[in-house]
Chain A
């Protein structure tokens, strides 16, 4: 850590370092985007505060570890989110469904309990020790652009995240499914009056959100430890991103993820000990200036 205040030329010297952190922050934002997207979807569209989001993320990673043994990384990438989404559907049908029209706090308590049960189940089945999981061979190595370094794996993660965002956007804005979902968010009673059943729509939304959480788990397993508490590790960051972006906003999550990635990178450059605190400070700032989040929409149901 520098002890003398930076002089002008010293500051100029640091510029490429700072730039590198900013660019890395954008690339790494894929990490935050992936973990927050599913959470945002389930809250915006289902009204459930899914505190079990991290637990499904962890399940995605653990299933991937098992599936990878037989079907390789590609198989794990496709199959694991589908399996976890299946579990999500079962949970939605049996539990979430009862709380859509209730006080949001009940959904929160449900998912809180679910998170703990899932984490402990993982611990019982797989043990508490971290399981090894590697980056697949075909995507090892780094790309060098000038003096900057980008692991291929992170670039691939960015690509997958972009695909997930694009796919979800198309689904929500260009299909009739999307239209019903958006109507159901604003005014479920009207939708029912129009004779459209919301139940299968909600199941699909929850499955999508949970599937995205599991996808994040699979993608992050090679670069973070696969252990039972991994869900708890990312859940706070996921919430921060969703809150900053604003509930009900799709692009809000994307912008917020980039913001969080960049702010954290800059914090680590200047005051590393404040790395994690910096994103909470950012959230605090956003909430003070725009309580609904940067792009939050009004949801009639909650007004």
Chain B
């Protein structure tokens, strides 16, 4: 070190070496302007009460990206995934804006909260970039709030209720039966309550009792006491996320034997409750024990990659990326309008189920089979994730896939 002599040769050499090193690190936006990658954005809540599902979502979309890139990418280009935590609606909106404006993603995938999904869809519509949502259930998102650039892989609440309702009917738990509801006091819970009430009315169930549960409630004992007093025929859960797990555990603790059912369900909630506490009949959009070739391949690949089987949320985000890649390849373009046109054209996709699925042109909802799920007898459980028995697909073979979804006359959706 030579002090006080200003610019020495050494200083200049060090300085230029440093500048050269910085130049390779800095300005990634400039580096990224090259056209040999396709950037896709992924937004999902990775913290908070939906965090467990978001974690599976990221695992699913990452696996899909890796598989696509290993096979050579799309249109000769690799896919670069930008995955971030959407946190809440305003953060989701900001990040979507940034991903499209600065990072130049050609599409956004994911999201689980319907409120955040709405925020992202508004950005997508403004920027004319497709948004394929994989986890938002509210009917309203496909109804009043629908827009041309948003596609729905996740089932609508109506589809979920119809799937579980089918099973409940077969168990004679609908006609002239008393239903007692526990509803999460926020947008999703209210939407689901509305849909379940409509189903009850149409099918002759008496759904006069319902309790609103604050989303931050962790102790359900007072509600369980109310259920015990009411002596219903079915306890209907319109709860979400960890509340489902908590409620099931405490319901078992009190030992009530009224049948449980619900229109909102995630496999992770059942795994969290554990095989001894888990009970009831619930709807499912996908399950890792599905016995079709592509489903089994996905489950095997996922388990190998992450050390545990995929939850239904992982299926949704995996499928989202695969469908997007398919759409890009088929339309030979990454332009938003071209992709939207292809997706709503009725093109069929392998959705890792028995039958192929397609997006309905007038509301962009994926038409596909759903299932009902109930606890598997203990002696048949192979491991800690194998606690659920998958029912037959709804609609059944030969029935129209659209029969479980909202009909056009009932929908408020008008796509511009």
Contact = CB atoms under 8 A, between A and B. Distances in A.
B198 interface: no
A20 B225 contact: yes
Interface in B260-279: 268-269, 271-277
B213 A272 contact: yes
B144 to A, nearest CB: 24
Nearest to A228: B51
23 contacts: A17-B225, A17-B226, A31-B219, A127-B52, A129-B268, A129-B271, A130-B52, A130-B269, A130-B271, A132-B275, A134-B274, A151-B255, A154-B253, A224-B219, A225-B272, A225-B273, A229-B51, A233-B218, A264-B222, A268-B226, A269-B222, A269-B226, A275-B214
B48 A132 contact: no
Contact of A21 (B49, B219, B222): B222
Interface stretch (B28-36, B66-74, B242-250, B332-340): B242-250
Nearest to A271: B212
B56 A151 contact: no
B223 interface: yes
B130 to A, nearest CB: 28
Interface string B211-241: 1111011110111011011000000000000
A277 interface: yes
A15 interface: no
Contact of B52 (A21, A128, A141): A128
Interface string B366-408: 0000000000000000001000000000000000000000000
The 6 closest A-B pairs by CB, nearest first: A130-B272, A132-B274, A268-B222, A129-B52, A273-B212, A225-B245
Given A141-B255, A273-B214, A225 B242 contact: yes
Most chain A CB atoms below 10 A, which of B52, B56, B271, B384: B52
A46 interface: no
B288 interface: no
A132 B271 contact: yes
Interface residues of A, number: 45
Chain B, interface size: which category? Answer: 35 or more
Contact of B225 (A24, A141, A227, A276): A24
Interface string A137-152: 0000110000001010
Contacts of A214: none
A113 B277 CA distance: 35
A265 to B, nearest CB: 5
Contacts of B222: 21, 24-25, 28, 264-265, 268-269, 275
Contacts of B117: none
Given A153-B253, A268-B222, A269-B222, A129 B55 contact: yes
B47 interface: yes
Contacts of B221: 24, 28, 154
Contact of A227 (B52, B54, B253): B52
B255 A142 contact: yes
Nearest to A135: B253
B210 A229 contact: no
Given A129-B272, A223-B246, 6 more contacts: A128-B47, A133-B274, A222-B253, A224-B250, A265-B222, A274-B214
A275 B272 contact: no
A125 interface: no
B128 interface: no
Contacts of A223: 246, 249-250, 253
Given A130-B272, A132-B272, A268 B223 contact: yes
Contacts of B253: 135, 151, 153-154, 222-223
Most chain A CB atoms below 10 A, which of B46, B246, B249: B249
A236 B215 CA distance: 14
Nearest to B49: A229
B254 interface: yes
B330 interface: no
A241 interface: no
Most chain B CB atoms below 10 A, which of A224, A225, A228, A273: A225
Contacts of A128: 46-47, 51-52, 54-55
A276 B272 contact: no
A265 B271 CA distance: 29
Most chain A CB atoms below 10 A, which of B218, B254, B269: B218
Most chain B CB atoms below 10 A, which of A123, A272, A277: A272
A234 B218 contact: yes
A199 interface: no
Contacts of B46: 128
B223 A127 contact: no
A1 B183 CA distance: 13
Nearest to A277: B214
B185 interface: yes
A15 to B, nearest CB: 12
A20 B254 CA distance: 14
Contact of B229 (A17, A268, A272): A17
Interface string B21-64: 00000000000000000000000001111011011100000000
A190 interface: no
B413 to A, nearest CB: 30
A187 to B, nearest CB: 39
Contacts of A25: 222
Contacts of A269: 222, 226
Contacts of B269: 130
A170 interface: no
Interface in A254-270: 264-265, 268-269
Contacts of B272: 129-132, 225-227
Contacts of A268: 211, 222-223, 226
Interface in A25-59: 25, 28, 31
Contact of A132 (B49, B51, B246, B273): B273
A57 B226 CA distance: 29
Contacts of B273: 132, 225
Interface string A116-129: 00000001000111
Nearest to A137: B276
Interface in B150-164: none
A133 B311 CA distance: 19
B249 A225 contact: yes
A150 to B, nearest CB: 9
A272 B212 CA distance: 6
